[in-house]
Amino acid sequence: MRDDSPMVPTATKQKKKPTRPRPVSEAQIGAWTELVAPGSATQDHFSPLDGSLIASLPQALPADVEVAFSRARTTAEEWKATSFAHRKAIIMRFHDLVLDNQKTLLDVVQWETGKSRASAFDEVADIALTARYYATSAEAHLRPQKRQGALPFVTQARVHFHPKGVVGMITPWNYPLTLPLSDAIPALMAGNGIVLKPDAQTPFSALSALHLLYEAGLPEGLFQVVVGDGPTLGSAIINNANFVMFTGSTETGKIVAEQCGRRLIGFSAELGGKNPMIVLDDAPLERAVQGAITASFSNAGQLCMSIERMYIQDGIWDEFVPRLTAEVEKLRLRSAFDFSYDVGALISQEQLDKVQAHMDDARDHGASVLAGGRHRPDIAPFAFEPTLLTNVSDDMLLCRRETFGPVVALYRVQSDDEAIRLANDTTYGLNASVWGSKTRAESVAAQIQAGSVNVNEGFTASWASTDAPMGGFKESGVGRRHGREGIQKYTDIQTIATQSGMNVAPPPGMSAERFVSTMTRGLRLMKYLPFRK
C-alpha cells in the first residue's frame, strides 16, 4: 500500500525538459482538466518516461469530495428515470468514440504510465468490449425477474433491481483507462452516478475517456472525478458513497473493507495476486511458450492477473525452459509512442525499487537468472528487463509476495498433484493458467483455488469473456466484475411478492390444528413439484 500524495516519480522530481515531443496538445489537456472536481490547491503531474510536466490538476480535500457526491447525486436522480434504450444509445456512441479516438487514448496512457503501446491498446479494446457488452445486456440482467412464489398459483414473486445511488470508485495506476471505465459502465447502465478517485499518478487516462463519455451524451455532472491523496480521499469517498468499487492492493483493500463495514454499505474489491501457471507434460509447446510470455510480461508484469510462478512438469521441462528462455531474450524492451517493441517500462521509482529489491534478495539467497534481471536506465528511467529465475526457495521475498513486475520464477514438478498443491499454496487466488491436453488440463483447472483459471491461455480468455464473472478467491478479492454479477452488485435487490385469493394463514373459521395438518399435506405434495420460475 502506498500513500500516493507525491505525484512525482522520485528519480524525476525536478521539472525536466521533455526529451520527446508532447503527444497530446495543450488544448486537449486543458479540456480534460476542466472535468476534475475543484480543489483547494493544484499539483504538477509528470510523465515517468522523461520526468516532463504533463499538467497541473486541482487537488481535492474531503469537503470537495462531498460537493462532488452531491452534484453526482442530483443528476443521478434524473438518470435513474431514463430508459435502458437511452443509456444504451449513449454507451454505444461512447464505444464508437473510443475506437475512433484510440490514437489519443493510446498516447495519454503511454505518456502517464510508460507502458508499451500494445499494452495500452489492451485497455482500449477492453473498454470497447465492456461498453458493447453492458449496453446490450444491462436490460436483460436488470429487468424485473419472476421467481418461484411461496404457494403455487397464489403467490407471485418478482425481483426488482434499483440503482444504489452514487457509486464511489477507487482505482490503481496500472490500467488507468480500463479499470475506471470498465467498472463505471455497468454502474451507469444500472442507473447510478459515479465519483471516481483515480490513482494520483495516472488521472489523465480516465479524464480523456470521460471527455468522450460526455461527448457521447452522458448528462453533465453524473460522473465526477476527484484527484488527490489516497487515504484522505479514499475515506471521504467511502463516507459518502452508496456502494464502493475498489481495485488495488490487498493491504489497502482490507482498510477499505473495514470502513465500508462500519457504514454497512456494500463493496466490491479486486485485489492482488501471485498467479501460477502449470505446464503439463502434454502441453502444446509453441503455444505454451508464447502464452507464457504474454501472461508474464504484458504491461511489464504490472498486471493483477500476471503470471509470476510457473510449475513445469519434469517431462516437458527440458524442451519448454530453453525455448522460453530463448524467446524471452528476443523480447524488445523500449519506450516509444509506437508498436515497434514488446515490453515497456515500469511506472515509477517506487515500483522499480520493489522489483529490484525482490531481484537482489533472490540473487542473495541463491536464485539463478536464466534471462534478464537488470534495470535498464539507458532505455527509460524505470525500464527493467523481462526476467526468468530458477532455484527460487521459500526464504526469498518473491516466492510468495506479489512482485508486480516482469520477474517470473520457474519450478520443476513431478506430477499433476504436486503442481496443484504448489499452485494453491498461497494466500492469493486471483488468476491461474493451465496448459495441457484439454480434458486433463480442465480437470487440473477445476482443482485450482482461483476466481479465474485459463486453460491453454494466460489470462486473456477469461478476462475478455465479459459475460462470465471475474474476481478473487481468498485474499484476492470480494465480489465480482463482468457478467450479471458485475452489474447487479450496483443495485439494491427488492422482492415484491403478491398474494392472490387467500392469505398465507389459516382461512377464517379454520382451526390452527386443521391448518397445520393441511399445510403438512401440502408441503409433502410440493416435494413432487418441479422447480419452475
> Does 430 help bind ligand NAD (rule: CB under 6 A)?
yes
Contact status, residue 110 vs residue 139, Cβ threshold 8 Å: no
> Does 1 help bind ligand NAD (rule: CB under 6 A)?
yes
CA 309 to the chain's CA centroid: 20
Alpha helices by DSSP H, 43-114: 62-79, 84-100, 102-113
CA 466 to the chain's CA centroid: 12
Catalytic annotation on 270? yes
CA distance 506 to 509: 8
CB of 483 to ligand NAD, least distance (A): 14
> Does 252 help bind ligand NAD (rule: CB under 6 A)?
yes
Question: Exactly one of 304, 402, 457, 475 is catalytic; which is it?
Answer: 304
Q: Which is nearer to ligand NAD, 64 or 416 (CB)?
A: 64
Contact status, residue 225 vs residue 198, Cβ threshold 8 Å: yes
CA distance 410 to 276: 10
Binding positions for ligand NAD, 218-237, rule CB under 6 A: 230-231, 234
Contact status, residue 128 vs residue 212, Cβ threshold 8 Å: no
Stretch near ligand NAD under the rule CB under 6 A, chosen from 24-32, 267-275, 323-331, 515-523: 267-275
Question: Exactly one of 270, 385, 457, 475 is catalytic; which is it?
Answer: 270
Stretch near ligand NAD under the rule CB under 6 A, chosen from 72-80, 166-174, 187-195, 515-523: 166-174
Burial class (CB in 10 A: 0-12, 13-18, 19+), 440: middle
User: Of these, 149, 172, 203, 479, which contacts ligand NAD (CB under 6 A)?
Assistant: 172
Cell representation of residue 378: 539507458
Stretch near ligand NAD under the rule CB under 6 A, chosen from 130-138, 151-159, 250-258, 457-465: 250-258
Position of minimal CB gap to ligand NAD: 234
- Residue 422's identity, in one-letter code, is L
- Return left, alpha or beta for 221; rule: phi > 0 is left, psi -120 to 50 is alpha, else beta: left
CA distance 197 to 342: 30
CA distance 412 to 394: 14
> Does 281 help bind ligand NAD (rule: CB under 6 A)?
no
Segment (H or E) for 422: helix 416-423
User: Of these, 39, 165, 168, 272, which contacts ligand NAD (CB under 6 A)?
Assistant: 272
User: Of these, 107, 112, 183, 270, which contacts ligand NAD (CB under 6 A)?
Assistant: 270
> Does 171 help bind ligand NAD (rule: CB under 6 A)?
yes
In this structure, are strands 266-270 and 477-478 parallel, antiparallel, or unpaired? antiparallel
CA distance 225 to 207: 8
User: Of these, 49, 135, 256, 333, which contacts ligand NAD (CB under 6 A)?
Assistant: 256
User: Of these, 7, 49, 188, 271, which contacts ligand NAD (CB under 6 A)?
Assistant: 271
CB of 135 to ligand NAD, least distance (A): 22
Stretch near ligand NAD under the rule CB under 6 A, chosen from 100-108, 158-166, 270-278, 484-492: 270-278
> Does 170 help bind ligand NAD (rule: CB under 6 A)?
yes
Catalytic residue numbers read 270, 304
Chain residues binding ligand NAD by CB under 6 A are 1-2, 4, 170-175, 179, 197, 199, 230-231, 234, 247-249, 252, 255-256, 270-273, 304, 402, 404, 430, 477
